[in-house]
């Protein structure tokens, strides 16, 4: 599976959908909304509890929508990875864009890592980007051609 791990400099990452209501898998997220669904609340629920359940329902529903779709999950994974790594991650090497290989199938430049994994970066992200290996914790700085 192709994933580009380009680090962005934003200090705030995406919400952690894997932790919403203890959600671990898409299958569990399919079941969780019913528990908090506004129509499933009993008559003894207070206004505060109903508001909390509605908030939780919206969180779980959003997590399910993102994690159940392969494309949105891939984008979410990239954003999550970038926010976890942020700019403080050490750079192991600088690589010129000319030294990377263009992959037409994925629309990205790729470069082999010493662990056997791969660095990949999309064309629009390639300008002065920090890219993480898809297998290990190494990262490179991609430099534009001079």
**CATH number for the domain harbouring residue 117:** 3.10.660.10
Task: Walk across the sheet containing 139-143 and list its strands.
Answer: 6-7, 129-132, 139-143, 93-96
Residue that terminates a domain, selected from 31, 55, 81? 81
Q: Is the same domain home to 30 and 69?
A: yes
Residue that terminates a domain, selected from 59, 81, 103? 81
The per-residue pLDDT for range 34-52, each reduced to its tens digit, is 677 777 778 888 888 888 8
Q: Is the same domain home to 71 and 126?
A: no
Q: Which domain holds residue 46?
A: 17-81
pLDDT category, 146, cuts 50, 70, 90?
low
**When comparing pLDDT for 99 and 129, which is higher?**
99
**Residue 91: per-residue pLDDT:** 79
Residue that terminates a domain, selected from 48, 81, 114? 81
**Residue 64: per-residue pLDDT:** 84
Q: Is the same domain home to 136 and 100?
A: yes
39 domain-assigned: yes
**Residue 20: per-residue pLDDT:** 59
* Segment 115-137 mean pLDDT: 86
Q: Is the same domain home to 72 and 97?
A: no
Question: Looking at the 3D structure of the chain, how many domains does it have?
Answer: 2
Coil vs helix vs strand at 119: strand
| CA distances, 94 to each of 88, 100, 118, 129, 141 (Å) | 16, 11, 15, 10, 5
53 domain-assigned: yes
The per-residue pLDDT for range 81-123, each reduced to its tens digit, is 776 665 556 778 888 888 999 989 888 999 999 999 999 988 8
Mean per-residue pLDDT over the chain, rounded = 75
């Amino acid at each position: 599976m192709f994933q580009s791990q380009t680090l962005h400099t934003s200090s705030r990452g995406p919400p952690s959908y894997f932790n919403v209501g203890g959600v671990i898998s898409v299958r569990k997220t399919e079941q969780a909304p019913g528990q908090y669904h506004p129509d499933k609340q009993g008559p003894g629920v207070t206004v505060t509890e109903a508001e909390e359940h509605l908030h939780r329902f919206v969180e779980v529903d959003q997590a399910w929508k993102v994690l159940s779709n392969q494309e949105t999950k891939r984008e979410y994974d990239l954003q999550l990875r970038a926010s976890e790594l942020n700019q403080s991650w050490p750079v192991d090497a600088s690589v010129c864009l000319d030294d990377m290989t263009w992959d037409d199938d994925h629309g990205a430049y790729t470069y082999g890592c010493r662990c056997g994994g791969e660095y990949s970066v999309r064309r629009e992200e390639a300008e002065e980007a920090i890219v993480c290996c898809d297998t290990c914790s190494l990262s490179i700085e991609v430099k534009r051609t001079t």
